Amino acid sequence: MNYWLFKSEPSTWSWDNQVAKGDAGEEWDGVRNYQARNFMREMAIGDRGFFYHSQTEKAVVGIVEVIAEAHPDSTTDDERWECVDIKAIEPVKTPVTLEMVKGDERLSEMALIRNSRLSVQPVTEDQWRIVCEMAGVSP
DNA sequence: GCCAACGTTGGC
DNA sequence: GCCAACGTTGGC
């Protein structure tokens, strides 16, 4: 199983929006970046991800699961763009802020820090465990 | 609201 | 194929 991080501006699509979709989940659409798309193509059903709020909150706020592999993005006719479907699994007990991630040496390699503009990122198993621990959820 | 970083586009 | 110009994102 692989781990990922999904970034969204809460004013556009928030954790609460995601939770409201329940087990049916929702497309992670609107991605118009090749790197991010390519990561989505690598995703498999059952992969886990962090749901990160950018801009105002700048924190990991929930855990999601991939429930559909990459398929054409329904919000565009452009065949280049694809997306996966994800559903909310559980909220974190403690939001893991960007500041906390930056403050932990073990997380210095995270794409969140190294390439802050990338909206869909891979997370290593070690990073996953560390952030889950900080968040107060089981990995 | 500003600005740095980065990705994309288009002219050559 | 290179590179300048431009647009977008996200942290501050």
Topology of domain A3-135, CATH: ph1033 like fold (3.10.590)
Convert the pLDDT of each residue in A3-18 to its tens digit: 999 999 999 999 999 9
Mean pLDDT of A117-138: 97
Q: Which residue is nearest to nucleotide C9 (CA to C1')?
A: A117
- Tens-digit pLDDT profile for residues A42-86: 999 999 999 999 999 999 999 999 999 999 999 988 889 999 999
The beta-strand segments (E) located in A39-137 are 48-53, 59-72, 82-97, 120-123
pLDDT-above-90 percentage for chain A: 96
Tell which strand C nucleotides have any atom below 7 Å from a protein Cβ.
8-12
A75-81 long-range contacts, CB within 8 A, separation 24+:
A75/A27, A75/A29, A75/A30, A80/A37, A81/A31, A81/A32, A81/A37
pLDDT digits (tens, 9 = 90+) for A84-99: 999 999 999 999 999 9
pLDDT confidence band for A105 (50 / 70 / 90): very high
pTM for this entry: 0.95
Nucleotide C8, nearest residue via CA and C1': A117
Q: What is the pLDDT of residue A92?
A: 98
Check residue A77 and give its pLDDT: 87
Q: Which nucleotides of B are covered by protein (CB under 7 A)?
A: 5-8
The integer distance in angstroms from the CA atom of A107 to the C1' atom of B11 is 42
Whether any strand B atom is under 7 angstroms from the Cβ of A117: the reply reads yes
Question: Between the CA of A55 and the C1' of B2, what is the distance in angstroms?
Answer: 14
